[in-house]
A and B are shown apart, each in its own frame.
Chain A
Amino acid sequence: MQRRGLFLSLSIFLILIPVVLFSYDENTTHPGLTSEIVEFYNASFPKRAISAEEKKWIVQGSMDEDTWPRWINHFYDPVYNQGWTAEGFGTISSSTGRWLNSILLSDHPPLASKYWAQSPSTQAEYKDFGGNQTWQRALASYASGDKQAAFLALGHILHLLEDATVPEHTRNDTHAHPLHLFTGDDGSPYEKYAKRYSSKTVFPINAASLVRAGVRPVALSTLTAYFNALAFYSNTYFFSKDTVQTAKYALPVVIRSDNDYGYGKDRDGSIFPLARKVAQRKADFSWATAFVLNDVVTDQVILEAYFDRLSRAAIVHGAGVVQLFFNQALSGQVIEQPTEVSGVHSILADVTKVRVGVIDVATKVQQLVSNVVPAVDNQPQVLGEKIFPESPVFNYPVVPSPLVVYGGGGGGGVVSQPIVFIDASIPVVTTSTIAVTTTVETVVVTSTEPIVTVTSTPVAPIVTSTSPVVTTTVPIVVVTTTIPMPTSTPVLPVVSHDPVYLNGRQTTTLRTLTKAEGPYMLVYYEIPVGMMLAMEPGTIVKSLYNDSKIDIFGSLTSNGVDEDMVILTSGRDKQTSDGLAFGNWNGSSPQAKDWQGLWFHTGSSGVLYGMEMRYAGKSFRVNNFLYTGFVSQAIRVESSDVRFDGVHFLYDGDVAVRLENSSATIVNTFFDHGVRAVESLLTSVVMDTVTFVNFSEVHGPVYLRDMWPTMSNVILENNTADVVYVESALVTSTARLASAMIYYLNNITVAAGATMNIDSGSLVYIADTGFIQVNGTLVAEGTDSARIHFRSYVDKTFWGALRFDGGHGRLSQVVLEDGNYNFPTPAERGGMIMLLNGSDVLIDDSVVSERRNPGNTIYVNHSTLVMNNSSIGQNDHAQFANVGILIDEGTVSLAGVMFENLQIAIKVVSLPLPSVLVSDSTFEAVDYVSDPPGIFVP
């Protein structure tokens, strides 16, 4: 029975582990990140580039490291210098988890990943589970000529480094995903978010973009230093799901917040969303404000900010580890490897050796890794003791070249960009001592010197305070090593003849692109103020890079015609006249977001005739405000005038055209595939003969805010929602809602003097709590066979009101349903139709039916209502206080009106009693005809 109980416990334990300890997905994110690391390394060190076959082995190794049950060794908490401790283990307590672990793997306690990566003797005992795949194994295999084994092991190491960029792995935050049906815990939202990235997708920060930005791999002296750097970064700058503002970790700190997010500060000074701010129900149903990070659905902005930073750190450090590997491997030192065994241990061996938990392992690690340079961190694992900073022992070796890190590219010569040391374990670097205050802040040293060198004599630092703020004095480090310059010239595709590159800033007032000279390869192109770029019919422009774009400060014109269109497209688009000649990205298929697109900056203009815009929309940041997150906009227009005539948009990212403070005319244009086609803010938009098909946005392919558009012959087909969404728009003259198009409206205002006409047969959706405020005139006249419907957009939600405020209305053959949600107006002063401040409204042959209780169906305040042959009320008689018409001064005249399912048909709350004329009216399931009684004769 006891054995059964133990077995069950072990089973529960093990069932928790498999997904619990995975963070980046072994089939998507890990191979993707590893691939980017190799690419970045190859771009940075082309003289010893990794071949395709070697890369394949490395990627395979990075996937194999998650072999069961190796992942118990994939944690490293740098603050407490711990491996996995089973904290945050769902319904099983940490102590229980550790106890089970001590039974299960008493001779194999989970090692911190930085030890595991360098512990051949321990890994050798995992013979049946992947065996020895350590750093030493990689070096030894390479030295013996077994490159496949070497690169497979290197892949295992990169996997561990990538895990060190996952906050859950460095903040000891376990998740019980396999029991998600019981616990509702779907695991790390960061992990789930990162899953979307693989070797087949484009990472937001990738090798190509880093190379273009002049970033260099981070060069550190030991593998341990890399683990420390990454683990400290992910631990101290980011939250994990269950460690948001917990007492255990003082960092990161929410430096400010708004109603949506709490924000943190990255080491480069940028501000980014750290956690979501929520109203939280406490156990006693009182309320508190809290910060959380628990939902991949609602936390996209945060997770995106996390992934951008952490994946970048993984790539730039990972490439540095690859370079370190070659530096050490090429030194030719052969390391003897332990024999792999199948988990058989000898008590005699235990008796004859001093084994004090992991200290023994750590000692071995230190001995093994000391073959090249002294370890930066050789401290044993001490469970539960907080150490911060990571070790009081600073041992600065002479750093082999290349040293640094974020230098600039560009044709050889000298480093002129700032030098940035990412690794806090090597505090940097001035001509005298330096005080490193707080935690793991990056120190930036600007240098224009062509020669940079490092020599140092280790001096123990003076630790003057304890966590979380530490002031440490570190020794002088004088830099004297030459930094090899990166070669930033891109590797160009093979072409049949010399391509013309669109690169840099235009220098002539007018430049014309021609069909004959093209196809052009777009690198990055800028049209300055006062200059024009013109594209003749048949011109083809293909992107060279993922973030290729044209910045327009002057003018851009396209003069294509139907039979010879101008084409702007992805470098791997084969559907152009050049076939595969240019921009063939390894022959793969084009897809949305292959390149960035066009950006019209303030004061620019664009007249685009006969143009095809394909596969643009690569995400970018607007104005480098990191907290704004990325946007995907194939064409971005800011305070400019643009005209699209005969343009075909195809697969252009999340938003094909984004308009801000601009003027846009879109005619004879076709939008095909994407999330949203047009997004407009404060822009005058004219659309005529425009078609939208295959867009996935739930609110429709068109979103227009602030200004009412002029639209005719707009066709919406096969979209998730075939509606035009207009929000917070002001109608200032005459607006027409055509029945051929379905509108989704939210908070529309018809200004005084303006008129909104709604065609018969129109269907008007209104957003949750949304309203149409009429200060001018609203005319909605349907017919018996083609009524006009106002209803909520989402089932079981309620829109607000037709709110006449000093306005005029004529409603005929209209059906109004499911409104009267006028947040924050109190229910007793609201209604689905509201007449305020001298309004006058005529309603004929209509149905005014609402289900939201309590409240009024129609609210009359100092206004005049005439209603004939209509019905007011609800579908069912509710128990709540609901009123058909509430009158607070004004005049009401009713003829042939049916009240149904109401508590009170007509209620008056003002004195003297207003004029209420009622004739030929009926009252069904109405508790009180009037309040006060007898104010009219039914």
Chain B
Amino acid sequence: MENRTKMFVAVGAIFLFMGTLVFLDLWRGSLKTDFTTMLRTTKQSADSIERADYEVALGDTYGGATPEEVIGLYHAAAVAGNYVLASKYFIADKQPIELQALQQAETAKLRTYLDLVAQPAEKMCDGEQCTLVIKLDGPDYFMRFKQYPNKLWKIVEL
């Protein structure tokens, strides 16, 4: 190849490279502009998901009219060996964890535990949160509850 040809190829390659960079730059800049718009759109979608979450909670019928009632329902179901039902009285996130714990529990330990949660407890509430406290000789035992939008109480933590 002649030197002149080589030079043209080299210059062409440089121009092609520069052109590609310019194209990519413009393209990415365009994406970033879209990204700003996307932030706004995504926020609207996120709001929709939050509303959906609310609707799902609204339709959850496993709960009690009071924290005491839901712990009573949990207790009754667990005593009867209906662990699936017992776990449903928990908030959604904790249901599979509780179900697994109940299914794998030693009978004696579970029975002792269920006797404990059936004990009278002191109740403390703040709006949609309540805690039942069972007094023990050492540190107390705290059971936490949350009220869903349908006014039913669910177990957050035992």
Taking Cβ atoms with an 8 Å cutoff, the residues of A that contact B are: 7, 10-12, 14-15, 18, 68-69, 91, 107, 128, 178-184, 186, 259-260, 276-279, 281, 283-286, 289, 292, 294-298, 342-348, 351, 768-769, 794-798, 821, 824
Contact = CB atoms under 8 A, between A and B. Distances in A.
Contact of B131 (A281, A286, A298): A298
Interface string B31-49: 0110110110011011111
A298 B105 CA distance: 29
* 5 A-B pairs with the lowest CB-CB distances in the bound complex, closest first: A15-B46, A184-B156, A184-B91, A181-B57, A797-B120
Contacts of A107: 32
8 contacts: A15-B50, A68-B43, A186-B129, A281-B141, A283-B100, A295-B131, A298-B124, A824-B137
B9 interface: no
B130 A279 contact: no
A14 B42 CA distance: 7
A131 to B, nearest CB: 13
A11 B46 contact: yes
A296 to B, nearest CB: 6
A298 B25 contact: no
Contacts of A284: 101, 104-106, 109
B142 A259 contact: no
Given A184-B154, A279-B139, A348-B25, A768 B129 contact: no
Contacts of B156: 184
A207 to B, nearest CB: 29
B101 A297 contact: no
Nearest to A343: B36
B15 interface: no
A107 B146 CA distance: 39
B49 A11 contact: yes
Contact of A286 (B21, B56, B109, B123): B109
B28 A345 contact: yes
A277 B50 contact: no
Contact of B93 (A183, A298, A798): A183
Contacts of B28: 345-347
Contacts of A128: 36
A292 B148 CA distance: 24
B85 interface: no
B140 interface: yes
B14 interface: no
B139 A343 contact: no
A186 B93 CA distance: 13
B146 A351 contact: no
A10 B42 contact: yes
Contacts of B46: 11-12, 14-15, 18
B10 interface: no
B32 to A, nearest CB: 5
Contact of A181 (B39, B91, B94): B91
A260 B142 CA distance: 12
Interface residues of B, number: 66
Contact of B113 (A11, A276, A285): A285
B133 interface: yes
Contacts of B33: 342-344
B120 A296 contact: no
Contacts of B39: 14, 69
Contacts of B24: 347
A181 B54 contact: yes
A178 B144 CA distance: 18
Given A278-B141, A285-B101, A298 B133 contact: yes
Contacts of B101: 283-285
A182 B36 contact: no
Nearest to B38: A10
A14 B72 CA distance: 38
A295 B49 contact: no
Contacts of B12: none
B104 A279 contact: no
A285 to B, nearest CB: 4
A100 B110 CA distance: 41
B105 A277 contact: no
A507 to B, nearest CB: 48
Contacts of A283: 97, 100-101
A754 to B, nearest CB: 29
Contacts, number: 151
A108 to B, nearest CB: 10
Given A180-B146, A284-B105, A768-B122, A259 B131 contact: no
B131 A297 contact: yes
Given A15-B49, A796-B68, A796-B120, 4 more contacts: A10-B38, A18-B46, A260-B140, A298-B142
A297 B36 contact: no
Contacts of B93: 91, 182-184
B149 interface: yes
B19 interface: no
A284 B106 CA distance: 8
B45 A11 contact: yes
Given A181-B148, A184-B94, A343 B35 contact: yes
B136 interface: yes
A516 to B, nearest CB: 49
Contacts of B144: 184, 294-295
Contacts of A769: 120
A15 B53 CA distance: 11
Contacts of A184: 91, 93-94, 144, 146, 154, 156-157
A7 B100 CA distance: 33
A31 B39 CA distance: 27
A773 B67 CA distance: 32
Contacts of B57: 181-182
B92 interface: yes
B53 A12 contact: no
B123 A279 contact: no
Given A181-B57, A295-B142, A298-B131, A346 B110 contact: no
Nearest to B105: A285
A286 B109 CA distance: 7
A7 B45 contact: yes
Contacts of B142: 276, 278, 292, 295, 298
A821 B148 CA distance: 32
A347 B91 CA distance: 47
B116 to A, nearest CB: 9
B11 interface: no
Contact of B126 (A68, A297, A343, A345): A297
A821 B91 contact: no
Given A183-B91, A285-B109, A277 B139 contact: yes
Contacts of A824: 137
A457 to B, nearest CB: 48
B81 interface: no
A16 to B, nearest CB: 9
Interface string B85-116: 00000011110010011001110011011000
Interface string B1-27: 000000000000000000001101100
B32 A344 contact: yes
A770 B100 CA distance: 38
Most buried by A among B106, B146, B154: B146
B35 to A, nearest CB: 6
A279 B129 contact: no
Contacts of B124: 297-298
Nearest to B117: A281
A346 B29 CA distance: 6
A346 B30 CA distance: 10
A285 B32 contact: no
**Which of B39, B97, B158 neighbours the largest number of chain A CB atoms within 10 Å of its CB?**
B39
B157 to A, nearest CB: 7
A135 B42 CA distance: 30
A178 B146 contact: no
A796 B75 CA distance: 14
A546 B120 CA distance: 41
Contacts of B130: 297
A128 B123 CA distance: 47
Nearest to A181: B57
